[in-house]
């Protein structure tokens, strides 16, 4: 492996690391502000996951992306790269499905909800998976 290929792989891995770190950190930051008749409340991905354990998939996908990219960097196998790419795409799709689920639930007139808005951390969650996907696509393999 030439020095340029190593540099490209190392940079791509740091991009993956940045994206997964953004996704994990934003999971614990406020995602949603719900305005009620008596006030408002903020909910993070972590708080929403206490109501629905399905949201822990977000953390699991970030770990799979990171491990897949790390093994791609070390062993140079396409299989690991494919796993990381699939996990990145699934992460983006999963967050978009959460968006549609929350909006449909809020628009159906759930208990005294006046309005709602998504915080930047929710959108950064999607961006984090996108950055991880971009980094994973730039990783080079031997096969």
Q: Which sign, positive or negative, has the C-alpha torsion 119, 125, 128, 130?
A: negative
pLDDT in tens, 104-135: 877 776 666 778 889 999 999 999 999 999 99
pLDDT exceeds 60 at position 17: yes
- Is the separation of the CB atoms in 67 and 81 below 8 Å? no
pLDDT mean across residues, the chain: 84
Give the dihedral of Cα atoms 86, 88, 89, 94; nearest 10 deg.
120
Q: What is the CATH number of the domain that holds 73?
A: 1.20.140
Range of the domain at 31: 3-138
Residue 143 lies in a domain: no
Residue 131 lies in a domain: yes
Rounded average pLDDT over 36-63: 83
Q: What pLDDT does 19 receive?
A: 92
More confident residue, 8 or 32: 32
């Amino acid at each position: 492996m030439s020095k340029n290929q190593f540099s490209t792989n190392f940079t791509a891995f740091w991009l993956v690391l940045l994206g997964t770190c953004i996704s994990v950190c934003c999971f614990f930051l406020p995602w949603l502000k719900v305005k009620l008749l008596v006030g408002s409340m903020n909910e993070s991905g972590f708080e929403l996951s206490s109501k629905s354990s399905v949201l822990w998939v977000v953390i699991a996908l970030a770990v799979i992306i990171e491990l897949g990219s790390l093994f791609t960097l070390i062993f140079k196998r396409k299989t690991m790269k494919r796993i990381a790419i699939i996990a990145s795409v699934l992460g983006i799709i999963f967050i978009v499905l959460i968006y549609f689920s929350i909006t449909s639930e809020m628009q159906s007139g759930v208990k005294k909800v006046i309005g709602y808005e998504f915080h930047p951390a929710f959108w950064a969650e999607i961006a984090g998976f996108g950055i991880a996907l971009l980094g994973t696509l730039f990783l080079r393999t031997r096969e």
